[in-house]
Amino acid sequence: MQRLLLLPVLLLGTVSALHLENDVPHLQSLETEADLGQDLVSSREQERDLALTKEVTQAKGEEVKASACQDASEDEEAMESDPAALDKDFQCPREEDTVEVQGSPRCKACHYLLVQTPTTFTNAQNICSKCYGGNLLSIHSFNFNYRIRHYASTTNQAQVWIGGILRGWFLWKRFCWTDGSHWNFAYWSPGQPGNGRGCCVALCTKGGYWRRAQCKKQLPFLCSF
């Protein structure tokens, strides 16, 4: 009688064991899928973090480029806000350090002057304004550029300042003239202005081409008034 009662118990134990063995692969499969899901989520998070890092790096790079072109405008703002900074040790060029440049036949009232004493772009603009009531020279045609190059070559310098300057930020950066006239002509050297450095424009005395230059560089300059 006892043996008959034990038989169903043994059968139930065997069936339960078989069910457990069958469930093991299924449980392992679920665990594997969960692990893969976690790996996928982690991978996506890493990609997102890398993308954000790249965007931040690019933004910082653009800020560095923009700030490098901000030096000239900051100098100008400082001079305008503090006239005493200009008056301190400020002297107009001596007559023997200047060369009068023949003007355009179309503008008999226009006067141009080559100042042979090297100085920074900002100081050059201030001298043109304070000493002659004008601005650094703007150029609007090939013929006039050729005439100016002829006079500039007498300085024995490789470059002279003209009135072009890069202003603005990022996609809104553009070249303009300090006298406010329209930028309707340019005579850039090969590779310029894209591969140039600096935010101010200098005219090469050989060839008459234009190049970007650091505004703190000291060069002779041309005034118009």
**How far separated are the first and last CA of the chain, in Å rounded?**
128
Q: Which pLDDT value is given to residue 87? A: 53
47 inside domain:
no
Q: What count of Cα atoms within 13 Å lies in the side-chain half-sphere of residue 114? A: 21
> Are 139 and 148 within 8 A, CB to CB?
yes
Q: Which pLDDT value is given to residue 178? A: 97
Q: For residue 123, is pLDDT > 50?
A: yes
Token pair in block for residue 215: 């505004």
Q: DSSP per residue over the chain, as a string?
A: -HHHHHHHHHHHHHHHHHHHHHHHHHHHHHHHHHHHHHHHHHHHHHHHHHHHHHHHHHHHHHHHHHHHTSHHHHHHHHHHH-HHHHHTT--PPPGGGEEEE---TT-TT--EEEEEEEE-HHHHHHHHHHHHS-EE----SHHHHHHHHHHHGGG--SEEEEEEEEESSGGG-EEEETT--------BPTTTTTT--SSEEEEETTT--EEEE-TTS-EEEEEE-
CATH number at residue 207: 3.10.100.10
- Where is pLDDT greater, at 69 or 195? 195
118 inside domain:
yes
Q: Which pLDDT value is given to residue 69? A: 52
Would you place residue 119 in the very low, low, confident or very high pLDDT band (cuts 50, 70, 90)? very high
**pLDDT tens track for 129-177:** 999 999 999 999 999 999 999 999 988 899 999 999 999 887 888 999 9
User: What is the average pLDDT across 177-189?
Assistant: 97
- Where is pLDDT greater, at 225 or 25? 225
Q: Which pLDDT value is given to residue 171? A: 80
147 inside domain:
yes
**pLDDT tens track for 28-83:** 444 444 444 454 444 454 444 444 333 333 333 333 243 445 444 444 443 443 44
Q: For residue 97, give the nearest of 224, 220, 223, 225 by alpha carbon.
A: 220
27 inside domain:
no
**pLDDT tens track for 74-115:** 444 434 434 444 556 678 999 999 998 876 666 777 899 999
8 inside domain:
no
Q: Which pLDDT value is given to residue 156? A: 84
Q: Which pLDDT value is given to residue 154? A: 87
Range of the domain at 202: 95-101+109-166+173-224
151 inside domain:
yes
Q: DSSP per residue over 133-186, as a string?
A: S-EE----SHHHHHHHHHHHGGG--SEEEEEEEEESSGGG-EEEETT-------
69 inside domain:
no
Q: For residue 106, give the nearest of 145, 144, 162, 150 by alpha carbon.
A: 144
57 inside domain:
no
- Total tally of structural domains belonging to the chain: 1
Rounded percentage of the chain residues whose pLDDT exceeds 90: 48
